[in-house]
């Protein structure tokens, strides 16, 4: 196991706000540690990967405007979905092996209501469609053509999500067509976001284009409540990134929440589940390219994360420390 590590965050996103609530704005350079801060004040927003920083900011601003947790999560995640430079989410996401961008997303609120879409094509904001599933249907999950038809019926516009850059990457891949899930290569995979508001109420969401070059029709963990995302408003929430198959096999996010229910801290709970995933996969064919990372937050606003391999990071936003990147501990490096 690696030791505790720190790093300096250099990115900047706007200025430091004046009021307590707006103080989430990113600070220029701050040394950060991975341990959950016991004195942290709610609200807290935590999101996977570097693109979580801009998403956190948008979510924070939405919450600050007095909007709901669902609106904050949706608004935050839409930032990554719309960004063509984020090649693992929404518009510009890397396609499957047939060159099709297929999207998975889910959202869950403090009442345990949830909405999810999987294998959705041609809609830039799957997280918004997932929210509509939650709010407008008697169901939790819609998939494929049915999800698309539902989105169109709700006024969403069908558009081409394959950018020239992602198409070029796919054509390069086609030359060898060697299938291996591409996970965690460039530090900007699935965005999963968890939010605890000032009353301690939880909301969460996930959105992704999934593993690049996946088989057409493959669905990962991200739209599956209990795998890519889970929360229980009495306890806390957890969300995953990494090889979805491994997270589904272990009901990863639900298990992290159950461990917190038993008294584990967010950090401890994430670590125990990553250890479990490692133990179940150490002789598995997926092991050479296996990466999983979890983030978690409890009702008190303590947060944490842990990953199987190095390279995982997450963005955290709270009034005390601003919006910044943190690197959690991990079990092993890619060379181990
Ligand atoms: N969990 C996602 C999936 O398996 C991918 C990722 O997080 O990078 O589809």
Does residue 226 belong to any structural domain of this protein? yes
Does residue 234 belong to any structural domain of this protein? yes
Q: How far is the CA of 41 from the centre of ligand 1 (A)?
A: 30
Q: The domain containing residue 250 runs over which residues?
A: 33-322
Nearest ligand 1 atom, CA 219: 9
Does residue 13 belong to any structural domain of this protein? no
> Do 130 and 78 touch, CB atoms closer than 8 A?
no
**Active site includes 163?**
no
Does residue 68 belong to any structural domain of this protein? yes
Please tell me the total count of domains within the chain.
1
Cα–Cα dist 135/53, whole Å: 27
Residue-wise pLDDT tens digits, 270-318: 999 999 999 999 999 989 889 999 999 999 999 999 999 999 999 999 9
Cα–Cα dist 322/316, whole Å: 8
Q: Tell me the best of 221, 245, 249, 292 to mutate to test the pocket of ligand 1, counting ligand atoms within 8 Å of each CB and taking the most.
A: 221
Residue-wise pLDDT tens digits, 81-106: 998 888 888 988 899 999 999 999 99
Cα–Cα dist 251/308, whole Å: 16
Rounded to two decimals, the pTM is: 0.89
E-assigned strand segments in the chain: 7-9, 30-32, 44-48, 103-108, 114-120, 141-143, 191-196, 202-208, 229-232, 236-242, 292-298, 303-309, 314-318, 322-326, 330-332
Rg (CA), the chain: 18
Nearest ligand 1 atom, CA 228: 1
Kindly state the DSSP code that residue 217 receives in the 8-state scheme. Answer: T
Residues 6 or more apart in contact with residue 59 via CB below 8 angstroms: 45, 47, 72, 73, 75, 76, 77, 193, 195, 317
The residues facing 107 across adjacent strands are: 115, 205
Does residue 103 belong to any structural domain of this protein? yes
Does residue 10 belong to any structural domain of this protein? no
Does residue 2 belong to any structural domain of this protein? no
Kindly report the CATH number assigned to the domain that includes residue 66. Answer: 3.60.20.30
Cα–Cα dist 272/278, whole Å: 10
Q: How far is the CA of 183 from the centre of ligand 1 (A)?
A: 7
Distance of CA 334 to the CA centre of its chain: 21
Does residue 16 belong to any structural domain of this protein? no
pLDDT at 30 over 50: no
Q: In this predicted structure, what is the pLDDT of residue 65?
A: 96
Strands 303-309 and 330-332: parallel
Cα–Cα dist 101/162, whole Å: 6
Using CB distances shorter than 6 Å, the residues near ligand 1 are: 88, 183, 189-190, 208, 210-211, 220-222, 241-244
Catalytic one among 48, 190, 203, 207? 190
Q: In this predicted structure, what is the pLDDT of residue 181?
A: 62
């Amino acid at each position: 196991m690696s030791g505790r590590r720190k790093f300096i965050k250099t990115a900047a996103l706007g200025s430091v706000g004046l009021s307590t609530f707006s103080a989430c704005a990113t600070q220029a350079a701050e040394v950060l540690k991975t341990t959950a801060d016991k004195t942290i004040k709610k609200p807290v927003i935590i999101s996977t990967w570097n693109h979580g920083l801009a998403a956190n900011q948008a979510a924070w601003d939405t919450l600050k405007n007095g909007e709901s947790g669902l609106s904050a999560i949706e608004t935050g995640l839409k930032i990554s979905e719309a960004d063509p430079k984020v090649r693992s989410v929404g518009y510009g996401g890397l396609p499957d092996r047939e060159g099709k961008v297929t999207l998975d997303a889910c959202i869950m609120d403090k009442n345990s209501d949830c909405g999810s879409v999987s294998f959705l094509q041609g809609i830039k904001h799957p997280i918004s469609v997932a929210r509509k599933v939650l709010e407008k249907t008697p169901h939790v999950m819609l998939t494929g053509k049915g999800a698309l038809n539902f989105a169109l019926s709700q006024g969403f516009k069908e558009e081409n999500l394959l950018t020239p850059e992602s198409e070029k990457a796919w054509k390069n891949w086609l030359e060898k067509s060697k299938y291996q899930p591409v996970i965690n290569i460039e530090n900007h995979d699935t965005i999963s976001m968890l939010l605890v508001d000032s009353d301690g109420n939880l909301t969460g969401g996930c959105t992704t284009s999934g593993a690049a070059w996946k088989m057409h029709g493959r669905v990962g963990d991200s739209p599956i409540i209990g795998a890519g995302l889970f929360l229980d408003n009495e306890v806390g929430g957890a969300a995953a990134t990494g090889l979805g198959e491994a997270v589904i096999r272990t009901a990863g996010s639900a298990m992290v929440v159950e461990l917190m229910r038993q008294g584990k801290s967010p950090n401890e709970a994430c670590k125990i589940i990553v250890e479990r995933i490692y133990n179940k996969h150490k002789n598995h064919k997926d092991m050479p390219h296996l990466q999983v990372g979890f983030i978690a937050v409890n009702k008190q606003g303590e947060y944490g994360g842990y990953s199987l391999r190095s390279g995982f990071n997450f963005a955290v936003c709270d009034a005390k420390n601003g919006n910044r990147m943190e690197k959690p501990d991990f079990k092993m490096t890619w060379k181990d």
